Amino acid sequence: MSTDTTSADAFERYVLPEVEVMLRVARSLTRNHADAEDLVQDTMLRAYRAIDRFDGRHPRAWLLTILRNTHINRNRRRRPELLRDPDLQLERAAQDPETDEALRPDRFIDLEFDHEVRDALDALPPMFGQVVELVDLDGLSYQEAADVLGVPIGTVMSRLHRARKKIRDTLRTAGVAPTYADLAVGRTP
Amino acid sequence: MMRSTFRRLTRGRWPAVRPDEQLSCREVGRLLQRFLDGELEDDVAVRAIVAHLDHCPPCELERDVYERISTSLAAGARPVDPDSLARLEAFGRRLADG
C-alpha cells in the first residue's frame, strides 16, 4: 500500500466522520454559517496535510485542536467576513414554520421555558455562553470543550457551573422554574 | 468537615468520596453538573449522589431544573446547514481521493 493510499485511508477513517461535529463547533465559535463552513474547510485542509503525523488516537480532540488554532489564526488575520449567500438566507427563513406541535396548548409552558432558556443563554457573557453551547448544544465532552477553547478542563467545569446557575436564576426570576419554596406552598390544600 | 473543605478547594476532585460517606447538599451541588453530564467517573461518588437525591427533595428539584435546562438547550440546537455539510463532505472526499 503506498503512502498516499494510507494517508487517504486515514483521512477517510478519522476526519470525514467528524465533519458534522466540526461544523457545529465552528458555528459556536464563529456564530456565522458562512464563516463556520470556511473554518471547517481550512481545518480539513490542515488535517489532510498533517494526517501522516497523526497517531490515530483521539481523532476528535486532534481535529478540534486544529480547528481552534485555525480559528485563532483567522481572527488574527482579520480577514473580511464572507458575503452570505442570499438564497441560503431565504431558504433558512422558510425552514422555520409554526408546526402543529408548537401550537399545542400544553406546549405553551414548555415553549415559554425554552424561550426563557434561550434568552438567558444569549444574555450570558460570551466566555460563559460559549462553554454552554459547546457542551449542551454541540454535545462535546468537557475535555473536548477544553481542547477547543484552549483552557484547562477545570476552567470548563467552573464556567459551565456558573453559566448554568445563572440560567437557572434567570428562569426563577422569570417565574418559569420552580423553587423548593414554590413546591412546598403548592402542596398545601 | 476537613474532607468537605479540601473537596471544595479542589473542585470536588480530592479526596474521593468514601463508600459510607453521606454527602451534604452543598457537596452534591458542587458535583451535580458533572453528575448530570456523565463526567463523574467515580462510581462511589455517583452512588452517593443518587442516594442523596433519593432522600433530599430540594436537591432533587435542583437536579430536575438543571436537567430540564439541558434538555431545552439540546432541543433548541439548530441543525447544521445541510448544504454546508454536504459541501464539506464532498470537499473531504475530494481531498481523500487526491
Of A11, A45, A141, the CB nearest to B96: A11
Task: Give yes or no for a cis peptide into B15 (omega within 30° of 0).
Answer: yes
pLDDT score, position A175: 84
The pLDDT, as a whole number, for residue A112 is: 78
Residue A111 contacts by C-beta under 8 Å, 6 or more apart in sequence? A102
Q: What is the reported pLDDT for A184?
A: 64
- Best to test chain B binding among A44, A52, A96 (most B CBs inside 10 Å): A44
Cα–chain-centroid distance for residue A148? 10
Sequence-ordered list of residues with C-beta below 8 angstroms from that of A189, at least 6 positions apart, any chain = none
Nearest CB among A44, A121, A157 relative to B34 is that of: A157
User: 24-63 in B: which are within 8 Å (CB) of A?
Assistant: 33-34, 37, 39, 57-58, 61
Q: Which residues of A109-123 are buried (b: 16+ CB within 10 A; e: fewer)?
A: ebeebbebbeebbee
Per CB-CB distance under 8 Å, the chain A contacts of B92 are 11, 15-16, 19, 44
What is the C-alpha separation between B35 and B60, in angstroms, rounded? 13
d(CA B44, CA B1): 19
| Distance separating alpha carbons of residues A36 and B81, to the nearest angstrom | 10
Burial class (CB in 10 A: 0-12, 13-18, 19+), A34: middle
On chain A, the residues whose CB falls within 8 A of the CB of B89 are 16, 19
Q: Nearest CA of chain A to the CA of B21: how many Å?
A: 24
Q: What is the pLDDT of residue B41?
A: 85
Question: Between B19 and A38, where is the model more confident?
Answer: A38
With a cut of 70, which residues of chain A have pLDDT below it? 1-5, 76-111, 182-189
Task: Report the pLDDT value the prediction gives residue A104, as an integer from 0 to 100.
Answer: 43
Q: Which of A23, A45, A164 sits opposite B69 (nearest CB)?
A: A164
Q: CB distance B76–A23 less than 8 Å?
A: no
Determine, for residues B87 and A37 on separate chains, whether the beta-carbon distance falls below 8 Å. Answer: yes
Q: Give the SS3 label for residue B37.
A: coil
Q: How far is A72 from chain B (nearest CA, A)?
A: 20
Counting one residue from chain A and one from chain B, the pairs whose CB atoms sit within 8 A come to 107
Position of cell 454527602? B23
pLDDT at B30 over 50: yes
Are A48 and B11 within 8 A, CB to CB?
no
pLDDT of residue A186: 53
**In this predicted structure, what is the pLDDT of residue A97?**
43
Predicted pLDDT at A160: 95
Note whether ipTM > 0.85 here. Answer: no
pTM above 0.90, yes or no: no
Dump pLDDT digits (tens) for B35-93: 999 998 888 989 999 999 999 999 999 999 999 999 888 887 778 899 999 999 999 99
For B55-69, the pLDDT digits (tens) are 999 999 999 999 999
